């Protein structure tokens, strides 16, 4: 009994080599994109601009500026809330852009004929 491959899954050694080359190219593109994203900086302002936080693509804070106007010794809670909001927004931006850019590369996975890989 012969097994039947789904449409597009056969094609012999040339097709397999083409798929391997395409997968290797995608892996290389992903590594390059990851390095590029890690170097990018994201600046987020919170509290009406009273706090400015800068984070790189590795989710490392590279700068934090706090306006003296928001520093009130009797209301440390507000300052804490604004800083937390800035951190959370910066992390969302880093993750969102990384996900979007990686999706652009892996979105073409269907062309490899590898269903269910991503």
Residue-wise pLDDT tens digits, 8-66: 555 567 788 888 888 888 889 888 888 888 889 999 999 999 999 999 999 999 999 99
Q: Residue 64: inside a domain, yes or no?
A: yes
Residue 118 lies in a domain: no
37, 40, 67 from 28: Cα distances, Å: 14, 19, 43
Model pTM? Answer: 0.66
Give domain status of residue 61, yes or no: yes
Q: What is the pLDDT of residue 15?
A: 85
Domain for residue 52, yes or no? yes
Residue 42 lies in a domain: yes
Structural domain for 47, as ranges: 14-108
Instruction: Say if 75 falls within a structural domain.
Output: yes
For 76-96, what is each residue's pLDDT tens digit? 999 999 999 999 999 999 999
Domain with residue 39: its CATH number is 3.30.1310.10
Residue 113 lies in a domain: no
How many distinct structural domains can be found in the chain? 1
């Amino acid at each position: 009994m012969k097994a039947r491959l789904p449409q597009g899954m056969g094609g012999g050694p040339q097709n397999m080599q083409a798929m391997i080359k395409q997968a290797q190219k995608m892996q290389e593109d992903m590594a390059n994109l990851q390095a590029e994203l890690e170097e990018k900086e994201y600046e987020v302002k919170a509290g009406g601009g009273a706090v400015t936080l800068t984070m790189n693509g590795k989710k490392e804070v590279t700068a934090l500026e706090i306006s003296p106007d928001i520093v009130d010794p009797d209301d440390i809670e507000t300052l804490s809330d604004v800083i937390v909001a800035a951190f959370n927004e910066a992390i969302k931006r880093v993750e969102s852009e990384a996900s979007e850019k990686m999706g652009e590369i892996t979105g073409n996975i269907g062309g490899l004929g590898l269903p269910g890989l991503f």
